[in-house]
Structure 1
Amino acid sequence: MLIILFVAILWYGGLFFQSFFLHRYAAHQVFTMSKTMERITFVLTWIFQGPSYLSAYGYGIMHRMHHAYTDTEKDPHSPSHDANLFAMMWKTKTIYQDINQQRIKVDQKFTKNVPQWKEFDLFASSRISRILWVSAYILFFSFFATTWWEWLLLPVTLAMAPIHGVIINWFGHIFGYVNYKVKNTSKNLFPFDFLMMGEGYHNNHHKHSSSPNFGVKWHEIDMTYLIIRVLDTLGFIKLKPIPVRSS
């Protein structure tokens, strides 16, 4: 039971910081936060993503490129131009690393105000950091796994962030329903997004990319947005004025 709880905490904790910090803050900047709060969130993202930690700088730029080039050959991840999900994941990893390590030149329109903490990212993305996290996870499973099938969940914990990414960037462009006709294949995966905390409303997001709330219809409850509202009320962050949605 402890293993299931552990995996659930990593799933939703890592997913929250990927959605809250990397996606809605770093890429779309739908709210602001102090430099101190930003640094705290960097560390929390590392804690919950563990060995699959993603840099806000690399993620933010790559996601902006995805919106600019959705479903074209320049899209960093698109089922329309990748043979299978593993090919897409490998391509995404390569582009992300090239951006994050600044091996390629990126148009300034994609880098504007994207948060970057070079020293921390260098550590959090290092082989030493990832090995320490992998060792800690294996040790936890060694102590608390009670059945053989629980060990099958270990690879999920080690690749949590890429798994979250492929659910949206592959399946979210193939399966689901649409509320808006947009010039790409984005879809909403679930009528109520219990699995991806609002990220599954991908068609809504592509239509209203500057909105902090990915839900549109009454049943499309965006759990990440609700938490953002609480953090805004408590003064930890400050939501920008919510833009009026077009039909």
Structure 2
Amino acid sequence: MTATTPTSTLSRDWVTLWFMVAMHGLALLAFLPGNFSWAAVGVALLLHWVTGCLGITLGWHRLISHRSFQVPKWLEYFFVFCGTLACQHGPITWVGLHRHHHAFSDQSNDHHDSNKGFWWSHMGWMFRDVPAKREMGRFTRDIAEDPVYLFFEKYFLATQIVLGVVLYLLGGWPFVLWGIFVRLVVVYHCTWLVNSATHKFGYRTYETTDKSTNCWWVAVVTYGEGWHNNHHAFQYSARHGLQWWEIDITWMTIRLLEMVGLAKKVKLANTNAAE
């Protein structure tokens, strides 16, 4: 998309639009009488951590998209699986779009360019046929032929259905409504806040070429991803919270993996080079 192409002229992605409408609508059913239980809420919170932290933040983002550290292949595939359960499309598509964003952050061809407004960068871009969706091949050559990645790319929705069946057998419809629909909607918006809020609210420690900011409340709900200006300044760094007050739960998890010998070649920001 060029600077002269209005977003309104892009054709709608009706599949994504109606999928998101359905997900949000089904999540509301969890709040009807008879569908609430603290056990179901506990399942949702546990799966939020598994899919949002271990899957998206640690796995798909810091490990795979940026290769900030290395783990054994079996553990990498486990994190790929956890991310697949976040139902944010398959890992190849997600990684490709994220790398595309970093290549063109806040430029006219950035698919969630924050200059186009909060709604667009938060979720509006998903409902349009943005060119980035067709330009991911050159950003994913390292994973595009991996059979495990290809399996989850093809069957990411099927794995969610299997999880739903398991939850139903364990706790009936309350487990399904909270563990699938409520949890997914919350993880979606937490992830999207990194695209929207952390290009609008907060402070900037480093003068990057985009509008990325450090936003503490986004860091709280995304396990440390809210220190986004730090991340754009040092994309390769496994640690995003660079100051003592910038709590980064995902970095703590990576550090634990390193201490037990499962994470190696951990890359850290060279803040002296940026001063």
TM superposition score category, shorter chain reference: 0.7 to 0.9
On the 8 A contact 1:193/1:222 being kept in 2, the answer is: yes
Determine which of 268, 271, 275 is the counterpart of 1:242: 268
- Determine which structure has the larger helix proportion and give its number: 2
Moved over 4 A (4+): 134-145, 151-154
Shift of 1:221: 1.7
Partner of 2:33: none
Partner of 1:78: 113
Aligned 1:13-24 pairs, distance under 5 A:
13-16=50-53, 17-24=55-62
Partner of 2:152: 121
Determine which of 60, 66, 74 is the counterpart of 2:101: 66
Shift of 1:54: 4.1
Residues 137 and 95 of structure 1, relative CA distance in 2, 3 Å threshold? farther
Q: Which runs of 5+ in 2 are unaligned?
A: 1-37
Asked if residue 218 in structure 1 is aligned to residue 260 in structure 2, the reply is no
Aligned 1:42-53 pairs, distance under 5 A:
42-46=80-84, 48-49=85-86, 52-53=87-88
Distance, in Å, in 1 between the alignment partners of 2:187 and 2:89 is 7
Distance, in Å, in 2 between the alignment partners of 1:231 and 1:153 is 27
Output the TM-score relative to the length of structure 1. 0.78
Residues 209 and 113 of structure 1, relative CA distance in 2, 3 Å threshold? same
Determine which of 65, 73, 76 is the counterpart of 1:38: 76
Paired AA for residue 43 in structure 1: F
Residues 122 and 185 of structure 1, relative CA distance in 2, 3 Å threshold? closer
Provide the identity percentage. 22
Moved more, 213-222 or 133-142: 133-142
Partner of 1:148: none
Per-residue displacement from partner, 1:18-53 (whole Å, max 9, x unpaired)? 11110011110011122222223223333x52xx15
On the 8 A contact 2:164/2:180 being kept in 1, the answer is: no
Aligned 1:46-195 pairs, distance under 5 A:
46=84, 48-49=85-86, 52-81=87-116, 84=119, 85-91=122-128, 98=133, 104-106=134-136, 108=138, 110-114=139-143, 116=146, 117-126=148-157, 128-134=158-164, 142=172, 144=174, 155-190=181-216, 193-195=219-221
Paired AA for residue 44 in structure 1: C
Q: Which runs of 5+ in 1 are unaligned?
A: 99-103, 146-150
On the 8 A contact 1:198/1:215 being kept in 2, the answer is: yes
